[in-house]
Structure 1
Amino acid sequence: MAVQKLYAGAKLREIRSGLGLTQKMFAEKLSVSLPYLNQMENNNRPVSTGVVLALAREFGYDVTELSTGDGERMVSDMREALADPVFTDGNESLVDAGVPLADLRLAASNAPALARAFLNLHGAYRQSQERLAAMNEALGGHGTAATTSPWEEVRDFFHYCDNYVDAIDRAAEHFSMPGGRELNADALIARTLSTLGIELVLSDDAPLRHFDTENSRLTLSRRAAPETRRFQALLQIALLTQDELLEATLDFARFQSEASRSIAKMGLANYFAGAALMPYRAFRQATLETRHDLERLADLFNASIEQVAHRLSTLQRKGDKGVPFFFVRVDQAGTITKRHSATLLQFARYGGACPLWNVHQAFETPGRFLRQLAETPDGVRYLCLARDVSKSGGSFAAPVRRYAIGLGCEVKHADALVYADDMDLGQGPFEPIGISCRICERERCHQRSVPPLERQLSVDPDRRGVLPYKVVR
């Protein structure tokens, strides 16, 4: 398995600027020569192990920040974008024509603003093409501008902040511990609503949540599961008590449209609700004591399995980080409806998840956790968990919403999970999974749905294997 060198020039410059040090002073602190530091800051050399240790020793820097964040996400996103047929020279894609992975990493590290502008431009192009293909108001004279959709813009906001919003998370933790002691979620909700003068009503005929501002009445659906009602009550409390903080965070994000801002506000309110239900330090300690047993955590915090899995993907507070997880939710068609990752694994921006991934099998085994050892094309190995999270409508005639969730971490962290017990983490076998068929490099995948856009194909009319074509490097 290849070891990926760490190029983090932009991060080094950011650290040095924040400390107010010159290159010479910074080099002395790191015990390296000035030319060597200059080369690392310009990504002509990878960051050495000695420099990583010196950053932690001299400045107390969380060195995991060097290898996470925007860089890997942008590399994955740019690689997928460049595989689009629009980037072709005759029959050859740009990736095929000579844009190596190393160059993409340099662009993401040295020119992140330019890389993000490129991704925004490609997203705008795709949005325009989708509208034209569907003839969505194509002749109406409005709504046809080539801009990123509000939903995608909000998704990218959470995507590029590691799905962790520090100010919101800390505010929720403070809220959940009035007077310095943690309250039961139901007691906290009752106390807060009483203080606000709001009546809580359960109704069989109500939508999931409805707040009547005129009569100060919060109505929740009696048919919803208790953990869902609990979460929705905390979400409404966030909107009522944290508006100033939510608006300040939205101002900082600088969304392009009011629609994006409105969607993001609900996303931040949802984040607050989850963080209040499972306050950071208490939840983090519980993950260590239970070894990330999702069912025990759900019982301890009166939450659902999905809520716990989502919360696990947000434990990225500096100085007290949890295991970096990815979290995803898919529907029965394989469409990804939620995606968050604090790992090197980045989900495709368009389309569904790899069919070899165990999250698709979860629908076949309701109520059970499935385990899978998997390896992505870059050689990184993961422990993947999957489970169905079907949601009843509360009555015989109501439709059942069926989803499956996937949660996973790199194998190097797997010993911290109870689910890794009795598994051979060294030998596997490891299932070869990918990100998306359109950008996957695997040549002989028996589940490939479409050819890889960045490779040439060869079709032999006298020979047929599992696939009707051969991928040519």
Structure 2
Amino acid sequence: MATQKLYAGAKLREIRTRMSLTQKDFAAKLGVSLPYLNQMENNNRPVSTSVVLALAQEFGIDVTELSTGDSERLVSDLREILADPVLADISPPLADLRLTASNAPALARAVIELHRAYRQTHERLASLDEALGREDARVQASPWDEVRDFFHYCDNYIDAVDHAAESFATQGEASGGIAAHAEAVLTGMGITVTLDDMEDLRRFDPDTGTLALSSRAAPETRLFQVLLQLALLRQDKLLEATLDFARFQSEEARAIAKIGLANYFAGAALMPYRRFLEAAQSDRHDLERLSRRFGASIEQICHRLSTLQRPGAKGIPFFFVRVDQAGTITKRHSATRLQFARFGGACPLWNVHRAFETPGRFLRQLAETPDGVRYISIACDVSKPGGAFGAPVRRYAISLGCEVRHAGSLVYAEGLDISNAQAFEPIGISCRICERRTCHQRSVPPLERRLTIEADRRGVLPYTVR
């Protein structure tokens, strides 16, 4: 099998800019000529093996930074945008999208942002009676989507926050454990922790110095909320500096992102990077073992596994998704080539939807996407009781997975015939951009294909995809 050539011009330019080097100086340190470097940065030539080695030796660069993760995300997002009915007559070939994503990522992101603004405008016009006369009825990105994209394009890994949380956890290991350390820190700040029978998970009153936690919540949830509050109180400068770097468009997005960063700190403190990575590798990513070892929920464990992308110490690139009973994606991240739909739900053939039918069980699935990439996926329900009679139950299902080449590192691959092509179920991303012609669960036709409609014939679908 031929080795795939590595084109990473945008990433090379990013590394050079980060090092504050001119092309001439960068070329000299890499041991190549200036014209050769220029050709690599413009994707006219692939990155050579000698350049990859020089990046690692001269600059300590994790060569996995040159991977096409960002490019694949951009291509997936662009394909979904071009599947919008308003752009139905515009169908550039996939090769053009890949060139745009790799050669002009800033332009690709601008197109994505423009489409997001268009959708926002369309949604506002759909509810014009509500928007008319309001002072804040301006077109801007949804704060929630803006924050989700921030984490998405950071590879769901925030280095400074992760290191700060790991440092806090190290201090905790030397003083009786993370829970005892957190309680001692709060006490030192004059804050009293109480347990109250309330629906809110956490409620902090700065005037009285009281942090109230819900007695209905599970112990791991209460500890997570304590660490989250500590992040807001003790790591405010770090969180604000990270938010300044992100340059959000609205105060709402900034506020949502700050809570997201505090959540990130809590998870990283509860499951410190290097210790968690070593445990995950040792336990072969057994979610239940890791849950017991770190006192975290299964969902917290899965989320943390999807963040192990520290340069120089990366874990398996996982995808992680959470869906509700309607199939709507409420959390999503992928460090793999599999990218989720930005709008709408997940493919109905995916095992995450079946998890609602089998509570308390882990479902395994071997799946193949239309691009021929094969994955192993683990799904389970994570319904969250309200903690009292009559309290609403929040029902979700989650899925964690990776490319099948990592199957040997997962306990969940035992007994699965990964060498059998017939064992892999065909799944897609979104019906509008899925190229499969014979899918029995297709909800809408693919916009990149022409259709044949026969009045005297009816198959599973009322049309045939050409």
TM-score range, shorter chain: over 0.9
Aligned partners of 1:94 and 1:454 also within 8 Å: no
Equivalent residues in 2 for 1:247-396, closer than 5 Å: 247-396=240-389
Q: Match for residue 428 of structure 2?
A: 434
Equivalent residues in 2 for 1:38-437, closer than 5 Å: 38-49=38-49, 51-57=51-57, 59-88=59-88, 93-95=89-91, 99-135=92-128, 137-178=130-171, 181=174, 183-205=176-198, 207-428=200-421, 429-437=423-431
Secondary structure at the aligned position of 1:211 is classed as strand
Query: Higher mean Cα deviation, 30-39 or 57-66?
Result: 30-39
User: For residues 148 and 2 of structure 1, what CA distance do their matches in structure 2 show?
Assistant: 43
Shift in alpha-carbon separation, 1:180–1:223, aligned structure 2, 3 A: closer
User: For residues 163 and 105 of structure 2, what CA distance do their matches in structure 1 show?
Assistant: 28
- C-alpha deviation, 1:21, in angstroms: 5.8
- C-alpha deviation, 1:74, in angstroms: 1.2
Q: Match for residue 448 of structure 1?
A: 442
- C-alpha deviation, 1:39, in angstroms: 2.9
Query: Higher mean Cα deviation, 298-307 or 78-87?
Result: 78-87
Q: Which amino acid aligns with 1:444?
A: T
- C-alpha deviation, 1:47, in angstroms: 3.2
- C-alpha deviation, 1:389, in angstroms: 0.4
Secondary structure at the aligned position of 2:365 is classed as strand
Aligned partners of 1:335 and 1:351 also within 8 Å: yes
User: For residues 136 and 262 of structure 1, what CA distance do their matches in structure 2 show?
Assistant: 28
Shift in alpha-carbon separation, 1:183–1:313, aligned structure 2, 3 A: farther
Secondary structure at the aligned position of 2:432 is classed as coil
User: For residues 470 and 183 of structure 1, what CA distance do their matches in structure 2 show?
Assistant: 65
Query: Higher mean Cα deviation, 435-444 or 19-28?
Result: 19-28
User: For residues 135 and 297 of structure 1, what CA distance do their matches in structure 2 show?
Assistant: 50
Query: Higher mean Cα deviation, 129-138 or 437-446?
Result: 129-138
Aligned partners of 1:206 and 1:220 also within 8 Å: no
- Alpha-carbon displacement from aligned partner over 1:190-236 (angstroms, at most 9, x marks no partner): 11211111111111135211111111111111011111111111111
User: For residues 22 and 208 of structure 1, what CA distance do their matches in structure 2 show?
Assistant: 52
User: For residues 183 and 163 of structure 1, what CA distance do their matches in structure 2 show?
Assistant: 30
Secondary structure at the aligned position of 2:131 is classed as coil
Query: Higher mean Cα deviation, 139-148 or 262-271?
Result: 139-148
Q: Which amino acid aligns with 1:226?
A: P
User: For residues 320 and 182 of structure 1, what CA distance do their matches in structure 2 show?
Assistant: 27
CA-based RMSD of the aligned residues comes to 2.1
Query: Higher mean Cα deviation, 172-181 or 267-276?
Result: 172-181
TM-score with structure 1 setting the length: 0.93
Shift in alpha-carbon separation, 1:3–1:436, aligned structure 2, 3 A: farther
User: For residues 286 and 90 of structure 2, what CA distance do their matches in structure 1 show?
Assistant: 45
Query: Higher mean Cα deviation, 263-272 or 453-462?
Result: 453-462
Q: Match for residue 454 of structure 2?
A: 460
Secondary structure at the aligned position of 2:203 is classed as strand
Give aligned-pair identity as a percent: 71
User: For residues 461 and 436 of structure 1, what CA distance do their matches in structure 2 show?
Assistant: 27
Query: Higher mean Cα deviation, 35-44 or 261-270?
Result: 35-44
Unaligned runs of 5+ in 1: none
Q: Which amino acid aligns with 2:90?
A: L
Q: Which amino acid aligns with 1:392?
A: P
Aligned partners of 1:313 and 1:340 also within 8 Å: yes
User: For residues 235 and 179 of structure 1, what CA distance do their matches in structure 2 show?
Assistant: 15
Shift in alpha-carbon separation, 1:199–1:27, aligned structure 2, 3 A: closer
Q: Which amino acid aligns with 2:180?
A: A
Shift in alpha-carbon separation, 1:17–1:260, aligned structure 2, 3 A: closer
Aligned partners of 1:137 and 1:143 also within 8 Å: no
User: For residues 270 and 369 of structure 1, what CA distance do their matches in structure 2 show?
Assistant: 26
- C-alpha deviation, 1:7, in angstroms: 2.1
User: For residues 459 and 36 of structure 1, what CA distance do their matches in structure 2 show?
Assistant: 53
Q: Which amino acid aligns with 1:94?
A: I
Q: Which amino acid aligns with 1:437?
A: C
User: For residues 193 and 129 of structure 2, what CA distance do their matches in structure 1 show?
Assistant: 42
- C-alpha deviation, 1:16, in angstroms: 3.9
